[in-house]
Structure 1
Amino acid sequence: MAMRSFVMFCIGGVIGFIVDAGVLQILVTGFAWDRFSARLISFLFAATATWLFNRNYTFRGRRRHSRLGEWARYVLAMSGGFACNFAAYSALVLAFNVDRQWLVLAVAAGSVAGLGVNYFASRYWIYRKAHHPQAPAEPAPAAEQE
């Protein structure tokens, strides 16, 4: 089950990467936004896309909060991974002056950097299974123990 959820999470991550890189390109190339401000907006779009995928496919059936509450928790949880993501992205952008058509490479590196943090935050915080303590087993009657 854990391997299946990780693979599905990675598929959702690919969708998020496409959304992230696409929105970033549109903002930087089409609207002349700077590479860093645009990345903050593209993250919100990507996080929303991955949240939709993960809630419907990767972790379906596990609901403890309203949609808005779940989305807010998800974006908050993804912010930890985004810190790793944005650090890797920024390092590449600044070190190699990555611009315009090559921003996709920096987004890809950032996505890989944040993957583990995001998966664990999703699996063990946002979509963790509720644990119901089991009642202690009753001892068998004396006649059955012999």
Structure 2
Amino acid sequence: MINGRFLRFVKVGATGFVVDILVFSILVYWFGLPTMLSRVLSFIVAATTTWLGNRLYTFKSTSERFGQWKRFFLSACISMLPNLMVFKGILLLLGENPISLVIAFVCGVATGLVSNYMLSSHWMFR
């Protein structure tokens, strides 16, 4: 059975996903930035968004903000590594086009979900 905190984590993550893909799309399609640079920049914005959501909604944390954000960002960066590896691997297999970008994006994000939850619940917001 899935606990309520995990469901709240997933809701915050869904919000972060929307922020992530919107920022990524804007950077790639409107500003013409390189794909991997856009992916890293959108990840930073989304990670900050999810930290705030998890702090206020999922874990209802009252600990010191900046130190907690640094720990959250470190754990997000650890989870970002498999995310980016899957993203880049799929693009190498399928080539870069709008459909493969979405497939790679979704698969990469899904890869980081479990490790991000484990790090958040056992280290970040314990």
TM-score (normalised: structure 1): 0.80
Paired residues, number: 125
Match status 1:7 vs 2:20:
no
> Which has the higher Rg, Structure 1 or Structure 2?
1
The unaligned stretches of length 5 or more in structure 2 are none
- Map Cα deviations across residues 96-129 of structure 1 (whole Å, 9 max, x no partner): 013346422211111110111000000000011x
The unaligned stretches of length 5 or more in structure 1 are 129-146
Please state whether the residue corresponding to 2:35 is helix, strand or coil. Answer: coil
- Alignment partner, residue 67 of structure 1: 65
Distance in 2, matches of 1:99 and 1:81, equals 25
1:5-44 matched pairs, under 5 angstroms: 5-44=5-44
Describe the shift of the 1:102–1:26 C-alpha distance in structure 2 as closer, same or farther (beyond 3 A): farther
Match status 1:94 vs 2:95:
no
Distance in 2, matches of 1:34 and 1:99, equals 13
Distance in 2, matches of 1:84 and 1:123, equals 19
Aligned residues: CA RMSD: 1.4
Please state whether the residue corresponding to 1:36 is helix, strand or coil. Answer: helix
TM-score (normalised: structure 2): 0.92
1:74-89 matched pairs, under 5 angstroms: 74-89=72-87
Distance in 1, matches of 2:93 and 2:99, equals 16
Percentage of matched positions with identical amino acids: 35
- Alignment partner, residue 107 of structure 2: 109
Which segments of structure 1 move beyond 4 Å, counting only runs of 4 or more?
A: none
Contact 2:90–2:100 (CA under 8 A) maintained in structure 1: no
| Residue identity in the other structure for 2:101 | L
- Alignment partner, residue 122 of structure 1: 120
